[in-house]
Each structure stands twice: as C-alpha cells, then as structure tokens.
Amino acid sequence: MPTTQFDKESIKQAIIGKLQRYNGKTLEDATQQQIYYAVASTVRDQIMQKWVAYKEQEKHDDGKKLYYLSVEFLTGRSLYCNILNMCSVGNYKQALKELGIDLKDVLPEEPEPGLGNGGLGRLAACFMDSLASLSLPATGCTIRYEYGLFRQKLIDGQQVEVPDNWLDNGNVWEVPAPEDTCEVHFGGHVETYEDAGRIMYYLKDYQTVEAVPYDVPVVGYDCSTVNTLRMWRARSPKSLDFASFSSGDYIKAMKEQELAAVISKVLYPEDNHYEGKELRLKQHYFFTSATLQYALKDFKRRFGGNLKLLPEKVTIHINDTHPGLAIPELMRILIDEEGMGWEEAEAIVRKTVAYTNHTIMPEALERWPERMMQKLLPRIYMILQEINRRLCARLADIYHNGTDPRIARMAVTAYDMVHMANLCVDMSYSVNGVSQLHGKILQEVTFRDFYELQPRKFSAITNGITHRRWLMAANGGLTSLITETIGDSWVKQPEQLSLLLPARDDAAFRERFEAVKHSNKVRFANFIKARQGIDVDPDTMFDVQAKRLHEYKRQLLNAVHIMVLYNRIMDDPNFEMQPRTFIFGAKASPAYYMAKQIIRMILSISKMIDRSPRAKKMLNVVFLENYDVSSAEVLMPAADLSEQLSTAGREASGTGNMKFMMNGAVTIGTMDGANVEIYDQVGQENIYIFGMRSNTVRDLEQSGGYAPIHIYETNTELRRALTAIIDGSLTPQNPAMLQDIYHNLLFSDPYFVLKDFGSYSMAQRRVNDDYQNREKWLRMAITNTAMSGIFSSDRTIREYNEKIWHLR
Ligand code: 26Q
C-alpha cells in the first residue's frame, strides 16, 4: 500500500502543492477558502490512508457490527476534530504557522453541516465520535440533505429563516460510493403468486427512487479505527426519459426526476414535534430501506446466505422511531426476497433491532395515517397489519379478554393510525430512555403496559457528550490547565477529571481557572461583536440559555424573571445587583407561532433595557443569532451560569446541560432529565435546584386544579412584569404584539411558568449573592468540571455496548 508522510514538512508541501494544482495559485494569492480546502484535503489524505488500512483489516473481522440509524446527525465542522483525533494538532499548527497561516483563521471557512435540529441529532454525532474512539465497529446511516437546518436571521425583532445551502462549495469529507447504489420502491400495489404451496408477495407498478451513498470517515481518537457515516442521496433512475422527451413531454420527464430528488432535499425543521407530512414518511422509508439493503449485502459478503446468523453479527439501532420502518422492511426482505417464513423472519427481527426513545412529549410521538402508509408503502403496510394482528391476538390471550383497554393502547394500528412507538417497543429486543428519570417515566407511564409484560427489555442509559469536541477542541485553555494540574489520563478516561477536585482548595489554581474563564468570555465578546455588532462586558456574569425554542424548555421563565429584575432596578434607586449578561441562543420551528413570539419578547426586553441607562448598568440581554454547533463551541466555555429550566418530567435528558457543566458553568435547573444526574454528581451545594418535582407536576396535571391567575393575583412583582407585556412598557410601538403570551400565561400556562416562578426567583437571588463571593463561586465551577467525566459519551457508549449491543 502506498503511504504518504504527514510530518510538518510534508504537510507544508502538500498544502502548497494543492493550491497550485487545484487553484493555480501560490499561497500569497490564495483566498482563505482555498487555503481551507487545501488544508482540509491534506487532512483528508491522511484520513484516507488510515481508512483504507482499517477497512482492509476489517475484512478479516467476523465480529458483530452496529448500524446506527438516525434521521439526523448534527456533526458540526470536522476539520479541527479530525486533526485532534489523529493527534496531529501540534504538527498542523506548526506547519501552518511556518506558512504564515493561523489554523484558527482557517477553521471558520468550513461550511457548517447542520444536518440535525438539536439534541437527538447532536447525540448521534457524539456517539459516532465515541464509537470510533473506543474502536467499536459501527456505521452511522442517514440522509444526505441538500439543505440542512435553516439559518436564523434576526430582522426587525423577529426570526427570519434563510435556506442552508451547505453543499454549494462542495464537501471535502465525503466520498461517493456509487457501487452501493440501490433502489427504493414507493406506491404501486401488492400482487401474489404461489410457490411450492406458499403465497408469495411482490410489488407491481411502483415508482423507483435510487439511493446513492456518500461516505464520511469518522476518525477515532489516537487509534487505528476509522468508521463510516453513510449518507444517502435520492435520485431518479431515469437520467432522461427519451420516450416522453421525443413525444414532447419534456416537462413531465423533468418533473418525475425532481420528485425523486426532493426526498433528500431538505431537513424538516421540527424538533420534538410530529407533523404527518407525506414527504417526511418518504424520507424515513428511503434511508431505512437503503440502509437495510446495504447491511444485508454486507452481511452476505461476510457470512454467505445463512441469515439465521444475522442477530449474532448485526445490530440495527434506531435513534427514536424515525427509522422504525426498519422493522417491517427487514421482515419484507427476509420473507419476500429471501423466501423465509413469517415466524422465522419475526424471530430474527426481534433479536436484531434495538430502540432508543428520546421524548415523552405526546405531540412528538410519531403516528402516520393508515391510508397514507397504505398508499405509499403497500407491502410494508400489509406487514404492519400482520404484526398488529399477532400482537393483539397475543394480548387478548394474556388478558383473557379481547376488549381489554390495554390492547388498544398497545396496538400498532389503531383508530386509523400507525403508532410507530408501539411498533418499536413490541418488535425491538431493547428499549431505552436517555436519563434515569426518563427511563423511569417510560416504564411507569409512556410504555407502562409493555413494561408490565416484558420488564427486562427496558433500561435507562444517561446521555453523554464527546469531551474531545466539547472540552478539548472547544476549550483549549481549560484543557491545558487541567492537564498541567492532573496529567493527561483524563483524555482517555474522562472520569479521571475528578482528580481535579482537590485543586478547588488551592487559591492559585482557582485564580488560573478564573483567568481561563475570563479569556473565554473575551473570546465570546469578540465573536458576537464581529457577527452582530453587539457589545458585551466580559466582567459581568454570563447567564446562558441555549437550546431549541420550545414552551416546555421555558425560555419564558427566564424572560419574565429578567422583567422582574428590570422593575426592581427601575423602582428602587438604591437597588444593586451583580451585573449580568443574559445570553439566549435558540431557533424556533418556522411554523411554531408561540416559539416565535417568545423570540420577539426576548428581543423586546433587550430593547427595553437599552432604553434605560440605569438598567443597562446591571442588565444586558443578547440574542445570539443562528445558534448552531460552531457557535455553541464558543459559547459553552464562556458561560458562568447554565439555565436548564424545563418543566419537570418533560426534558428526556438534555445534553447542553452537560456541555456547560464540563466547561465550568454552574447549573440553575429543575429536577428534570439529566439535571438529576448532574445534581447527584456535584451535590446540592454546587447546583441551584428549584421548582416542582416531576411527580408533583403529574399530580397537578391529573387533578386539573391549576389556576395561574391566582398566582398572578397574589404575587405583585410577577403581576407587574406580566402587565408590562401588554400595557406598552415592553412593546411601545405595538402594545398588543405579545398579548398571546400574556393570555397563555394567565389563563392556561400548561408548562407551569407562573407556578415555578417564585422558587426560580429565590434560586436566582442565591446565584446573585454567591457569584459575588469569588472563592465560593470558583469552587462550585471547578467542582462542576471535575465531576463531569461521567457525562462523556465514551461512558454512554460503553454502557450501550454492555447492556445492548455486545460488540467485540
Ligand atoms: C417525528 C415525526 C415526524 C416529524 C418529526 C419528528 C421528530 C423530530 C425530531 C420528533 C422528535 C425530534 C427530536 C427530538 C429530540 O431532539 N429529543 C431530544 O433528544 C435528546 C437526546 O436524547 C435529549 O437530550 C432531549 O432531552 C430530547 O428533547
């Protein structure tokens, strides 16, 4: 095998050579973008070498393989993390320096792959990094969206969506694999024939869409593993239909082509919310079917035709229900194409597919109209019906009653809808939640009936984040300080970060920790100044809430509290507080009216404060435009306070909470999702917990006895703040602008903003006081970083492997 060197001198030569060959330019004349491309393709050459070697070695491996299916992989930029994982940061920095280039200036040239909405997609990306770094054989499978999540602009105090054409200048990291192109079939109808006394099914008059794979290498940290992220692109099989072309129906020929390609055109921008759009269902089946065809092809290459071995050699993990059609699709392939009987096929599927649930929000549970499923995927629909028939028969048997209400709750098809979660729970060998509390709620509430029958199928595995991207890449200052203090064992064993704990007692260390935090705040200040022209003062407390805009995440609680602080300042000339910069980062789904109103409210609060020189001294509210992975990498290290305010029981886990913690921010939060585990790690003196517990929330919901208006009537401060929403104080140009928020809070408040307000406000008073005690605050911050090791996704992946996958 030809090998190339990647020492400093070779890197320099490679970059200069590429600029010459690709662009006909010398280094002096090249644009930043061309330099980025030359550097990235040099890194790619280095990865390719490892990738080829790894695939070669993998050919002789007869172990189990994981396919991780997810409709989103929110990877963010790759250049720096790839260099980091190849342990070549020093080499590249030095090589570039000698060419007169700063690596830091090259990185922002990489287009941001925003192939995900939020937590679920980012988790998939962290998992890929950990799988490779733990040398576990895994392939991630998804859709190669031509347009990722929209870019957010803030114009005239509102969110405006702009298309994300991330592929316009090409993607250095992907390699097409046309040899694995396959067909996916839609529509048509099912016909039967008899073969040796058995009825066989096949699809007729269907439409074909071709699935073309593009592979992205996923480099493990300091190891030989290079896994693959496979992204499927949809394409029409007819390059040009000459029949309709010559008959003059050119437009029709082009239309058909476009219709096929539209499947991989754009990522749906809904997060934690289900919408029954047909194109979305097409997307799900498209990448799931292509992936399963590929997985079986690879299985046969490795083991020949003995499909009984499948569960021993392949595990299909579905990231939420979105790839849940993997279940009937695998049944279809085994029965219709491999000639297997139903029972045998079912037994294989039941040992091959594992499912993770990511949400308890009822409006996010995936359901499809039976008619849509039948029209679009007639054979799959038949299989779903048969799965349902057998499930209901089993249940009627167990309950000795065919009309037991539990049967309708657990059915795969009921009331004209296909219930994807029920399908996944019934047919998977493993069902897991993403935090301890979430796992418990799945067992006790969401999937209670299933849990009573098969408790051993269920588990809870707390999410994690890759410390390589979220600490080592995002926070070089803290990374160096940690390694100077405790050595570098934590890099491979992140739980060793706890060795840092004693250093909180060391005044000199605290000072250095504070200096790192301060320089990260300066970096963020420069970042937001350059992008939005906004001034923030790094000497104020940075209080950050960054996550998708959703009512259950309660950005409103934060916003209302800022209004209360504003009034305290305006009412009392002697009022003093620790000056704070409130930073929000959040995209709202384009069709989510309330979420967009909340953005308008936050921007209005910011303006209201700017009108008062006195308030301005203590409060600053900034909305970071277009919050994405790259801006999170600048924001997390700069945060002092992490806002995790979801109504208890609603946030399955949260992962932003872990990123803040690892970077030394202290959490103010409810006992929800993984906040509970953070609390367990740092202890009550190092976190600000407030609000109702999840069981209290559930009781209150079930009793139906919550009247927010009573709280409004009895809490003067709150009443004043809420009134300001509609009396023109907040939005003088249009006093009615935010009235829906006001009415929602007063007369409905489904997420208990007013109910938890008092407790939140008290917790915030303690934050204010403690922050001014520098020693106390720094001890808390250090404790958070030191105890964050278990939130590395390496730990999460090890747990998945021990409990679910059993790879190698
Ligand atoms: C489903 C069907 C049709 C259309 C859209 C959807 C859909 C899309 C995205 C449903 C849900 C989502 C996203 C869910 C999500 O991001 N959940 C988050 O997952 C994180 C990782 O486990 C958790 O940390 C978060 O708590 C959870 O909200």
- Single-letter residue type at 634: V
* CB of 19 sitting under 6 A from ligand 1: no
Q: How many helices (H) and strands (E) does the chain have?
A: 35, 23
* CB of 543 sitting under 6 A from ligand 1: no
- Single-letter residue type at 146: E
Instruction: Check: CB of residue 76 under 8 Å from CB of residue 146.
Output: no
**Can you read off the two tokens belonging to residue 23?**
């662009």
Tell me the DSSP string of 22-84.
HHS--TTT--HHHHHHHHHHHHHHHHHHHHHHHHHHHTT--S-EEEEE-S-------HHHHHH
Q: Above pLDDT 90, what percent of the chain?
A: 94
Which residues lie closer than 8 Å to 179 by C-beta, 6 or more apart?
none
Instruction: Check: CB of residue 115 under 8 Å from CB of residue 629.
Output: no
Instruction: Check: CB of residue 782 under 8 Å from CB of residue 510.
Output: yes
* CB of 379 sitting under 6 A from ligand 1: no
Atom 6, ligand 1: residue with shortest CA distance: 274
Q: Which residue has the tokens 């054409």?
A: 165
* CB of 609 sitting under 6 A from ligand 1: no
Query: If you average pLDDT over residues 321-332, what whole number do you get?
Result: 98
Confidence bin at 362 (pLDDT 50/70/90): confident
* CB of 633 sitting under 6 A from ligand 1: no
**Can you read off the two tokens belonging to residue 225?**
């593993």
Residue 260 half-sphere exposure toward CB, CA atoms < 13 A = 24
Residue 20 scores a pLDDT above 70: yes
* CB of 673 sitting under 6 A from ligand 1: yes
Atom 3, ligand 1: residue with shortest CA distance: 274
* CB of 358 sitting under 6 A from ligand 1: yes
Residue 42 Cα to ligand 1 midpoint, Å, equals 36
Residue 410 scores a pLDDT above 90: yes
Q: Above pLDDT 70, what percent of the chain?
A: 98
pLDDT score of 239: 64
Q: Phi and psi dihedrals of 673, rounded to 5?
A: 50, -140
Residue 137 scores a pLDDT above 80: yes
Residue 121 Cα to ligand 1 midpoint, Å, equals 8
| C-alpha gyration radius of the chain | 27
Query: If you average pLDDT over residues 447-476, what whole number do you get?
Result: 98
Residue 472 scores a pLDDT above 80: yes
- What's the pTM? 0.98
Query: Whole-angstrom Cα distance, residue 565 to residue 578?
Result: 11
Query: Whole-angstrom Cα distance, residue 146 to residue 124?
Result: 19
Mutational pocket test of ligand 1: of 271, 274, 365, 675, the residue with most ligand atoms within 8 Å of the beta carbon: 271
Ligand 1 atom having least distance to the Cα of 366: 2
pLDDT score of 5: 82
Residue 540 Cα to ligand 1 midpoint, Å, equals 34
pLDDT score of 244: 64
* CB of 653 sitting under 6 A from ligand 1: yes
Mutational pocket test of ligand 1: of 72, 126, 270, 793, the residue with most ligand atoms within 8 Å of the beta carbon: 270
- Give the length of the chain: 808
Atom 11, ligand 1: residue with shortest CA distance: 272
pLDDT score of 332: 98
Confidence bin at 363 (pLDDT 50/70/90): confident
The model's pLDDT over 728-778, given as tens digits with 9 standing for 90+, comes to 999 999 999 999 999 999 999 999 999 999 999 999 999 999 999 999 999
The model's pLDDT over 175-212, given as tens digits with 9 standing for 90+, comes to 999 999 999 999 999 999 999 899 999 999 999 999 99
- Single-letter residue type at 221: Y
Task: Give the full edge-to-edge strand order of the sheet including 541-546.
Answer: 619-624, 580-585, 541-546, 641-644, 666-669, 688-689
Residue 272 Cα to ligand 1 midpoint, Å, equals 4
Confidence bin at 1 (pLDDT 50/70/90): low
Residue 389 scores a pLDDT above 70: yes
* 415: region left, alpha or beta (phi > 0 left; psi from -120 to 50 alpha): left
- Cα distances from 330 to residues 280, 446, 740, in angstroms, run 20, 26, 47
Query: Whole-angstrom Cα distance, residue 472 to residue 53?
Result: 27
Mutational pocket test of ligand 1: of 68, 69, 115, 120, the residue with most ligand atoms within 8 Å of the beta carbon: 120
Q: Phi and psi dihedrals of 417, rounded to 5?
A: -125, 150
Ligand 1 atom having least distance to the Cα of 72: 9
Residue 361 Cα to ligand 1 midpoint, Å, equals 9
- Cα distances from 660 to residues 182, 275, 438, 559, 613, in angstroms, run 43, 31, 21, 20, 31
Instruction: Check: CB of residue 794 under 8 Å from CB of residue 490.
Output: no
Query: If you average pLDDT over residues 547-573, what whole number do you get?
Result: 98
For the CA atoms of 788, 794, 797, 799, what is the dihedral angle to 10 degrees? -60
Instruction: Check: CB of residue 123 under 8 Å from CB of residue 673.
Output: no
Residue 466 scores a pLDDT above 90: yes
- Cα distances from 535 to residues 240, 516, 524, 530, 620, in angstroms, run 55, 20, 10, 10, 9
Instruction: Check: CB of residue 784 under 8 Å from CB of residue 666.
Output: yes
Query: Whole-angstrom Cα distance, residue 633 to residue 74?
Result: 13
Tell me the DSSP string of 88-152.
-HHHHHHHHHHTT--HHHHGGGSPP-----SHHHHHHHHHHHHHHHTT--EEEEEE--SB-SPEE
Please tell me the least confidently modeled range out of 268-272, 313-317, 328-332, 500-504. 268-272
The model's pLDDT over 581-600, given as tens digits with 9 standing for 90+, comes to 999 999 999 999 999 999 99
* CB of 7 sitting under 6 A from ligand 1: no
Confidence bin at 222 (pLDDT 50/70/90): very high
The residue among 77, 70, 71, 36 whose CA lies nearest residue 629 is 77
* CB of 324 sitting under 6 A from ligand 1: no
Atom 14, ligand 1: residue with shortest CA distance: 272
Q: Which residue has the tokens 């579905």?
A: 318
Residue 684 half-sphere exposure toward CB, CA atoms < 13 A = 4
Atom 8, ligand 1: residue with shortest CA distance: 271
Q: What share of the chain is helix, strand, coil (3-state, %, to 5)?
A: 55, 15, 30
* CB of 279 sitting under 6 A from ligand 1: no
Atom 1, ligand 1: residue with shortest CA distance: 274
The model's pLDDT over 72-102, given as tens digits with 9 standing for 90+, comes to 999 999 999 999 999 999 999 999 999 999 9
Atom 5, ligand 1: residue with shortest CA distance: 274
Atom 10, ligand 1: residue with shortest CA distance: 272
Query: Whole-angstrom Cα distance, residue 88 to residue 12?
Result: 13
* CB of 708 sitting under 6 A from ligand 1: no
Average pLDDT, the chain: 97
- What residues are labeled active site? 358, 547-548, 553, 655, 659
* CB of 426 sitting under 6 A from ligand 1: no
Query: Whole-angstrom Cα distance, residue 447 to residue 580?
Result: 43
pLDDT score of 243: 66
Ligand 1 atom having least distance to the Cα of 438: 26
Query: If you average pLDDT over residues 227-249, what whole number do you get?
Result: 81
Full 3-state SS string of 568-614: HHHHCCCCCCCCEEEEEECCCCCCCHHHHHHHHHHHHHHHHHHCCHH
Mutational pocket test of ligand 1: of 115, 142, 358, 672, the residue with most ligand atoms within 8 Å of the beta carbon: 358
Confidence bin at 275 (pLDDT 50/70/90): confident
Instruction: Check: CB of residue 558 under 8 Å from CB of residue 545.
Output: yes
* CB of 463 sitting under 6 A from ligand 1: yes
pLDDT score of 241: 60
Residue 707 scores a pLDDT above 90: yes
Query: Whole-angstrom Cα distance, residue 250 to residue 270?
Result: 35
* CB of 365 sitting under 6 A from ligand 1: no
Query: Can you list the pairs that 15-24 forms with residues at least 24 positions away whose Cβ atoms lie under 8 Å?
Result: 15/39, 15/42, 15/95, 15/96, 15/99, 16/99, 18/42
Query: If you average pLDDT over residues 620-649, what whole number do you get?
Result: 98
Ligand 1 atom having least distance to the Cα of 646: 26
Residue 366 Cα to ligand 1 midpoint, Å, equals 10
* CB of 651 sitting under 6 A from ligand 1: yes
